[in-house]
Structure 1
């Protein structure tokens, strides 16, 4: 039983041109930001030292930055971590200085005015490991897109395969653009979230394409745009329920999960919205633009041996 039932078709394709212009603007802005601002790479990719300290009272970040600059840590990135009493300090790699010694130097600088500061944790990631992770992460994303294109081409048709990959690239570029524009930290958890967005968006697109193929065989006299609108309307209740329940879980993770998974939850929350949008106005609209029609989705008839012989022989 459907909880949401749309009795009349929604004319999605009527807005495909404005939607494509909107998507084009978002992609251009994202690419420009990635080219100029790049990403705020986390220590997983850049290497360096991460130090978490705790104060008895709310920490004054500007004062902490001045203390670290006085101690010759001019490249330190200081930010709150979860609460106003917890502070996260990121330092670029320093050759010949061990993480433990670096932590003692930072603590000495922070305690210079007699304030009580506790060391919570200290982590070190080598720059060579960071370069390797960045390269492998990019290769993993590229490999996923190629495998997805091959899968959809085999299951459906090359126009739908190309449309789905363009939609996935659209989702990835805009999600990365969001992190670049807002300068949110991009670490391995965010990379995992981006890959999860690819999977979610693909699943949504496959459901829509499956219904499009089914309706092309059922509604033989309708125009392609009408068939696509019908298919999107029929899958809309499923999309709303699936996206809605997923968003509720992600909001709970974002609010209660702590600062460690804020980036993960942010990427997935944004990815759910952009993935649902791209299934309608990128994947389906591009398939229509490429000229998908009933004949392209008809199953291939296999002629049986002896079918053309006279049955009386």
Structure 2
């Protein structure tokens, strides 16, 4: 008898527990927003804020205060230190932007460390210098990358599952044009992206792009919770985190698409059944694939988290949290949302591209 993680006839009532899922995700989202606004806040790394970061390793454990005092010099303003690693000999040193050249800066740090710890040699394993202008450019490009990735996803979902390629493409073109024009006024990229994202959700709702609205909302929930977790843990947002967030969006979207695709098949085969039953059946039918995909991904990301060290710690943590949250977001956010955006008849007609009903006919104005 072959080994099976999930039995073929499994029948877990996911949709019946949707209110619990909505509640838990709502609380997690609220805590994330509070952490990002009232708590530690989103701490930008030097990739986005600019500055200097040095990674050093001592042969023996050192006292944090002694280390900080040894580098408290005018040439190295805004010092903050962070110990990482199991043995406590590795440190990340952060400074505000320095006028010194990288070679001169390295020599200044090494000289200070040798003077303070003559019997405990330190090895500088990494030194990065990012100017404030470069950091600002990277911030704008990073936010834009996330927005356009999600906007493209909305177009793809609408075309594939609702057969409305032209409507979705027109929405994307208008949003891109509006974003570009408003950007010329000097509005900050962060505010611009937030407004554009809200408009995207609103347009999806009023154009009755139910699958796209559910998928995009689910992805936004995952991204916001991951960022809130990093904020609560006081972890810098750098290019590693950006890469992890974009990767998580891909993983979460893939899981959502697989489930939506099975739902579309069930709509064609069992269009006379209640929508709640079809959604539940679709999630259960793809559960084995979900468990295997997420399990192998988490095996790799947890290994990076435990064994990878401080350089990729933020990437591994964001990946691990995002992949885990993403799979539950599909089950308890994306799929259950469809129940509130239309009934079985609406989705059967939409997926087969036959009749477009009057606004509000199936409970969605």
TM-score (norm 2): 0.77
CA deviation after TM superposition for structure 1 residue 155, in Å? 0.9
Question: Does structure 2 retain, via aligned residues, the 8 Å contact 1:216–1:294?
Answer: no
CA RMSD of aligned residues (A): 2.1
> Residue 20 in 1 paired to residue 71 in 2?
no
Aligned to 1:119: 124
| Cα distance per residue 1:176-200 (max 9 Å; x no partner) | 1111111112211110110010000
For 1:42 and 1:176, locate their aligned partners in 2 and report how far apart those are by CA, in whole Å: 13
User: Which ranges of 4 or more aligned residues in structure 1 deviate by more than 6 Å?
Assistant: none
Structure-2 residue corresponding to 1:271: 322
> Per-residue deviation at 1:59?
2.6
After superposition, residues 246-261 of structure 1 pair within 5 angstroms as 246-261=297-312
Q: Alpha-carbon deviations, 1:229-286, whole Å to 9, x = none?
A: 1111111111111111111111222222232111111111101111000101000011
Structure 1 residue aligned with 2:243: 192
Q: How does 1:70-149 map to 2 (within 5 A)?
A: 73=76, 75-82=78-85, 84-94=88-98, 96-113=99-116, 114-115=118-119, 116-149=121-154
Distance 1:264 1:48 in 2: 20
Is the aligned partner of 1:300 residue 2:353? yes
Specify whether residues 55 and 173 from structure 1 end up closer, same or farther in structure 2 by C-alpha distance, changes over 3 A only. Answer: same
How many pairs does the alignment contain? 301
Query: Whose radius of gyration is greater, 1 or 2?
Result: 1
Check the 8 A contact 1:204/1:276 in 2, yes or no: yes
Matched, 1:290 2:341: yes
3-state SS of paired residue (2:88): strand
What are structure 2's unaligned runs of at least 5 residues? 163-208, 356-365
Shift of 1:34: 1.6
Which residue of structure 2 aligns with residue 223 of structure 1? Answer: 274
Equivalent in the alignment of 2:258: 207
Aligned mate of 1:43, from 30, 42, 46:
46
Matched, 1:175 2:178: no
